[in-house]
Amino acid sequence: MFVGELAMLVSRGRVFLGLFVLVDIVKMGRLVVMMRGGVVMSGGLKVMLARRMLR
């Protein structure tokens, strides 16, 4: 009985952990996308400047 309850708790814990991990991944993904969007905008200018500096 006790072992069964433990198994239930462990499986529930894993499900909750999985959900939290998924949420974190989604948040990180959004942040990365936003960062990349900003980096692409400013990165393009930086690359242009860097190329001019190198040449």
User: For the segment 9-44, what is each residue's pLDDT rounded down to a tens digit?
Assistant: 888 889 889 999 999 989 988 888 877 777 676 777
Quote the pTM value: 0.45
* pLDDT surpassing 80 at residue 6: yes
Task: Provide mean pLDDT across the span 2-13.
Answer: 87
User: What is the pLDDT, as a whole number, of residue 53?
Assistant: 82
User: What is the pLDDT, as a whole number, of residue 45?
Assistant: 79
User: What is the pLDDT, as a whole number, of residue 24?
Assistant: 92
Q: For residue 18, which of 6, 8, 10 has the smallest C-alpha distance?
A: 10
SS3 call for 11:
helix
